[in-house]
């Protein structure tokens, strides 16, 4: 009844609708020119719905919507919502949060260029996404070889000169903006050249460098002219390797798909100035062979959401239903006309066919690798059962580690692996409460007792295998607690780092697993993940303690001002590097207090 009332009251405006299951989880996000007409269509029995749509409708228990001013605005909001909520029934980029981008911090006086996996609306320029991380690193290395960029993380601005420059400046790998050896205008001219390169506009960049070289030669600046000549030649060498695919020197993206069950591979071939400058392949989830239109539409919305440069022409394997609205959106992003085309014959159709062939090969390759990767962890699980003589396969493994420095800020970690893979939702962190001083054995006993007394009290199942980071001492300490809890027969082992020896209850000699086996690789992963998780927590607590204690020692800094400083700057390091003027910008910090903070931190910070 509630759902029917919602359907009756839907507006006729454009907007985005969110469908939810009985648990309140968003399972589908869509956009509509008319919310009333589109959402109601899902519940019309006369419509010939696909199996996927029928399965979706059965699960809808509630819905929500957001009215927008236009269909273009609805399209943008829909793409944002899909990325945020990752709904089960939407076609979406697989693991899209992990794709790297190249970021150019044009929001800084002296921009940096580096790889990132987080895209923010911060005024910087982002290029990507890329699916090949090694290719990103190679591109960045090439850019640093061609252009003397700064790669430090310092906050450098005009009229804020450092006392001395770093090594990169002295070996001519950086132009030294920190010591004001180059002004903002000249540095940003170089950044514009880098942006041209990243856009695939190498031919334009070559012409620009050629003009600069000629001007430098005319001014008899022969050393500078030689540098520009070498840069130009290096870029020419790159363009020689790029295949010419368009005699009209056009900028195009060519996009085609290949499908297998609920997966699709989308191939993007990037053509700039008529040359094939790159290609990427993306895996989409929740697709079907019959829904190429839906797959392409979903991809276009998600892919071009964060793209910095959009070409004039995008070639697709079919004509999509939302062509006009997506063109309008891309026109707005580009600032000029963008055409979505579905060529039927000729050279452009050949390009689309080439993209389709590559999509098929890449999908096949992905499926082979996925199959291998899915089998690999299970092989390690089966090997462990054999080598450790366990009654059943160790499907669930729980690993422990302790982290402290001479007993200060002691913490422990618990990581969980199921079927040979990390299950991060079950990870746990522990602050050591009952042990004082550096006593790893007692700390291990505390966390084992806290973990498994709770498991027993709540009537939950014990893991198939417990792995302790350490040798006989740590293992025996944990065994003592398990015996006290009445679960002394629980499979538990210790893994010592030095020789990767596995210590077993009641056995004088350790087990040596095969060095090239999946079983050793699996328990090493559990041990290393437990160590990483414990160390990161320890560092966080230690950093928080040091930050608080140092700021608390400054006259005039109470809890509120300390929190304001940390909220504004994010870390003690950034507070240390801030000027008096920058400190004064923080709410509640006067110029007098800012001077006190600055002087104190300068006196108490090691050079």
Question: Residues in the chain, how many?
Answer: 607
CA 273/CA 268 separation, integer angstroms: 16
Most confident residue range from 150-164, 482-496, 544-558: 482-496
Nearby residues of 492 by Cβ (< 8 Å), 6 or more positions away: 465, 466, 467, 468, 475, 478, 479, 482, 505
Q: What is the mean pLDDT of residues 276-293?
A: 82
pLDDT at 406 over 50: yes
Q: What is the mean pLDDT of residues 182-192?
A: 85
CA 28/CA 308 separation, integer angstroms: 28
pLDDT at 242 over 60: no
Lowest pLDDT segment from 11-25, 111-125, 140-154, 532-546 = 532-546
Q: What is the mean pLDDT of residues 102-119?
A: 86
In the chain, % helix, strand, coil (3-state, to 5) comes to 45, 20, 35
Residue 240: what pLDDT?
A: 58
Residue 277: what pLDDT?
A: 76
How far are the Cα atoms of 21, 35, 94, 307, 308 from residue 74, in angstroms, in the given order? 22, 10, 23, 19, 21
- Please give the mean pLDDT across all residues of the chain: 83
Residue 607: what pLDDT?
A: 47
pLDDT at 584 over 80: yes
Report the share of the chain in percent with pLDDT over 90.
18
pLDDT band at 451 (very low <50, low <70, confident <90, very high): very high
Q: Could you give all domains of the chain from N- to C-terminal order, each with its CATH number? A: 2-90 (3.40.1440.10), 98-244 (no CATH), 252-365 (3.30.420.340), 396-535 (3.30.420.340), 553-603 (1.10.150.20)
pLDDT digits (tens, 9 = 90+) for 362-371: 999 888 888 7
pLDDT digits (tens, 9 = 90+) for 244-261: 556 667 888 999 999 988
CA 413/CA 169 separation, integer angstroms: 42
Q: What is the mean pLDDT of residues 8-33?
A: 89
Say which residue, 547 or 474, is predicted with more confidence. Answer: 474
Closest to 377 in 3D by CA, of 417, 421, 423: 421
pLDDT band at 280 (very low <50, low <70, confident <90, very high): confident
pLDDT band at 159 (very low <50, low <70, confident <90, very high): low
Q: Are 414 and 443 in contact (CB under 8 A)?
A: no
Q: Are 210 and 230 in contact (CB under 8 A)?
A: no
Residue 161: what pLDDT?
A: 66
CA 311/CA 199 separation, integer angstroms: 10
pLDDT at 564 over 60: yes
Q: What is the mean pLDDT of residues 503-513?
A: 85
Say which residue, 352 or 234, is predicted with more confidence. Answer: 352
Q: What is the mean pLDDT of residues 267-279?
A: 83
Six-digit token string for 111: 């921009």
pLDDT at 97 over 70: no
DSSP H or E run through 122: none
Residue 241: what pLDDT?
A: 58
CA 38/CA 44 separation, integer angstroms: 11
DSSP H or E run through 518: helix 518-552
Task: Kindly tell me the sign of the dihedral angle through the C-alpha atoms of 116, 118, 120, 125.
Answer: positive
CA 505/CA 475 separation, integer angstroms: 8
Question: Where does 56-112 show beta strands of DSSP type E?
Answer: 62-67, 92-93, 101-104
CA 483 to chain centre: 43
pLDDT band at 331 (very low <50, low <70, confident <90, very high): very high
Q: What is the mean pLDDT of residues 193-212?
A: 80
pLDDT at 417 over 80: yes
CA 410/CA 432 separation, integer angstroms: 6
- Residue 330: beta bridge partners? none
pLDDT digits (tens, 9 = 90+) for 70-87: 888 888 888 888 888 889
Q: Are 332 and 72 in contact (CB under 8 A)?
A: yes
pLDDT at 553 over 50: yes
CA 123/CA 106 separation, integer angstroms: 7
Radius of gyration of the chain (CA): 30
Strand, coil or helix: 595: helix
Say which residue, 555 or 481, is predicted with more confidence. Answer: 481
Report the share of the chain in percent with pLDDT over 70.
92
CA 516/CA 110 separation, integer angstroms: 48
Write down the number of H helices and E strands in the chain: 19, 20
């Amino acid at each position: 009844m509630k759902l029917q009332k919602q359907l009756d009251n839907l507006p006729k405006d454009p907007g985005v609708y969110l469908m939810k299951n009985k648990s309140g989880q968003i399972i589908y996000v869509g956009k509509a020119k008319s919310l009333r007409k589109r959402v109601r269509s899902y519940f019309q029995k006369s419509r010939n719905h696909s199996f996927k749509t029928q399965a979706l409708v059965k699960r809808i228990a509630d819905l929500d919507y957001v009215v927008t001013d236009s269909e273009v605005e609805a399209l943008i909001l829909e793409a944002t919502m899909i990325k945020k909520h990752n709904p089960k029934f939407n076609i979406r980029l697989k693991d899209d949060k992990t794709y790297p981008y190249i970021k150019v911090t044009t929001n800084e006086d002296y921009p940096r260029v580096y790889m990132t996996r987080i895209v923010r609306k911060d005024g910087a320029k982002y290029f990507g996404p890329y699916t090949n991380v090694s290719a990103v690193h190679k591109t960045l290395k090439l850019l640093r070889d061609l252009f003397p960029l700064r790669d430090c993380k310092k906050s450098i601005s005009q009229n804020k000169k450092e006392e001395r420059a770093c090594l990169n400046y002295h070996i001519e790998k950086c132009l030294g903006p920190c010591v004001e050896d180059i002004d903002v205008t000249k540095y940003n001219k170089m950044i514009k050249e880098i942006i041209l390169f990243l856009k695939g506009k190498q031919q334009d960049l070559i012409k620009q460098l050629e003009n600069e070289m000629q001007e430098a030669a005319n001014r008899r600046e022969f050393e500078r002219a030689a540098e520009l000549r070498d840069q130009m030649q290096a870029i020419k060498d790159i363009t020689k390797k790029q295949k010419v695919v368009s005699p009209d020197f056009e900028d195009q993206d060519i996009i085609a798909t290949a499908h297998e069950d609920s997966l699709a591979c989308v191939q993007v071939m990037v053509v700039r100035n008529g040359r094939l400058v790159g290609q990427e392949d993306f895996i989409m989830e929740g697709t079907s062979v019959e829904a190429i239109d839906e797959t392409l539409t979903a991809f276009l919305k998600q892919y071009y959401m964060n793209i910095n440069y959009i070409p004039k022409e995008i070639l697709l394997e079919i004509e999509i239903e939302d062509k006009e609205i997506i063109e309008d959106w891309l026109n707005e992003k580009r600032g000029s006309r963008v055409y979505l085309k579905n060529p039927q014959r000729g050279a452009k159709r050949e390009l689309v066919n080439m993209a389709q062939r590559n999509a098929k090969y890449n999908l096949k390759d992905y499926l082979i690798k996925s199959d291998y990767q899915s089998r690999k962890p299970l092989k390690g699980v089966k090997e462990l059962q054999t080598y450790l003589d366990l009654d059943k396969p160790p499907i669930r493994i729980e690993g422990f580690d302790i982290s402290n420095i001479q007993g200060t800020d002691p913490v422990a970690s618990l990581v969980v692996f199921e079927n040979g893979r990390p299950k991060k939702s079950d990870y746990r962190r522990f602050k050591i409460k009952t042990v004082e001083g550096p006593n790893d054995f007692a700390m291990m006993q505390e966390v084992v007792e806290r973990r498994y007394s709770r498991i027993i009290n709540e009537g939950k199942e014990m893991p198939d295998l417990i792995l302790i980071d350490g040798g006989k001492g740590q293992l025996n300490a944990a065994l003592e607690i398990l015996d006290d809890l009445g679960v002394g027969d629980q499979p538990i082992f210790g893994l010592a780092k030095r020789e990767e020896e596995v210590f077993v209850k009641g056995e004088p000699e350790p087990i040596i697993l095969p060095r090239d086996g999946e079983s050793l690789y699996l328990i090493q992963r559990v041990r290393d993940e437990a160590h990483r998780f414990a160390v990161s927590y320890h560092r966080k607590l230690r950093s928080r303690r040091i930050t608080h204690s140092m700021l608390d020692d400054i006259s005039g800094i109470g809890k509120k001002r300390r929190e304001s400083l940390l909220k504004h700057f994010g870390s003690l390091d950034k507070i240390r590097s801030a000027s008096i003027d920058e400190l004064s910008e923080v709410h509640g910090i006067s110029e007098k207090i800012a001077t006190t903070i600055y002087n104190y931190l300068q006196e108490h910070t090691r050079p």
